[in-house]
């Protein structure tokens, strides 16, 4: 690999954007070969790069983890006001970041990776990737409310109508939802627009990857078959 600027290298490894990489370098949390990195330096895949004490895998070493994010953990890289953040909860030798958020009060499956191309492909709304949730509300559902939810709800705060979605009622107050978009706090906003308050929200699937038997706070590496299918559905190739 030819020499590239450190911020571009960090971005190519899926750590963050170039702008955020510059901020990390300014904060002094990036080291190259044991030395605190300076702005503008260039590196290759042969250099040892660490961010906040975690080694950065080269851009060709793809890592994808399935993580059960507990309630109370915030999807952010750095927040002085958050008691628990994702970046500090996962003890993995390679630095990874989240591909799609879950809000603080929600729990369930979060995919973590060091592949920036995968993150971009998963976050692109036009790709309509499926995400599945179990939603429990405080009141009993009505068929009229569920019908409107399936067809799409206009959200005043965001000035947008949600895409049609799949909903299966599992109990008087519990439904399974499959969304193909990721608006900010979308499910909670949709329920609120129908007069329902969410009691608990758990994400159980992202595209082809399922939460399965993971417990809160646990993570696992994706199997080779899962990786191959995930990359294929995202329109990407992965080295065999």
Catalytic annotation, residues: 103
Token digits for 167? 């909903």
Query: Which among 90, 180, 77, 192 has a CA at the least distance from the CA of 137?
Result: 192
Token digits for 90? 């996962």
Integer Cα distance of 43 and 58 in angstroms: 11
Integer Cα distance of 16 and 115 in angstroms: 10
Query: Which among 80, 112, 114 has a CA at the least distance from the CA of 206?
Result: 112
Integer Cα distance of 207 and 111 in angstroms: 10
H helix or E strand, kind and range, residue 50: strand 49-51
Integer Cα distance of 18 and 36 in angstroms: 18
């Amino acid at each position: 690999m030819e020499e590239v600027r450190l911020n571009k290298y960090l971005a190519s490894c899926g750590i963050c954007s170039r702008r955020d990489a510059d901020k990390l370098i300014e904060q002094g949390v990036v080291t190259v070969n044991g030395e605190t990195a300076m702005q503008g330096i260039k590196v290759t895949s042969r250099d040892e790069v660490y961010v906040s004490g975690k080694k950065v895998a080269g851009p060709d070493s793809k890592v994808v983890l399935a993580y059960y994010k507990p309630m109370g953990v915030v999807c952010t890289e750095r927040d002085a006001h958050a008691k628990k953040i994702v970046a500090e909860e996962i003890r993995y030798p390679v630095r990874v970041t989240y591909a799609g958020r879950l809000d603080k009060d929600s729990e369930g499956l979060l995919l973590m990776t060091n592949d920036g191309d995968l993150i971009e492909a998963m976050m692109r709304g036009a790709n309509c990737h499926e995400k599945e949730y179990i939603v429990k509300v405080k009141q009993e559902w009505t068929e009229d409310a569920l019908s409107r939810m399936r067809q799409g709800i206009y959200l005043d705060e965001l000035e947008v109508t949600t895409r049609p979605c799949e909903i299966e009622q599992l109990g008087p107050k519990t439904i399974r939802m499959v969304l193909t978009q990721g608006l900010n706090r979308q499910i909670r906003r949709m329920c609120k627009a129908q007069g329902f308050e969410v009691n608990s929200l758990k994400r159980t699937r992202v595209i082809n990857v399922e939460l399965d038997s993971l417990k809160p706070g646990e993570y696992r590496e994706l199997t080779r078959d899962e990786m191959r299918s995930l990359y294929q559905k995202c329109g990407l190739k992965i080295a065999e």
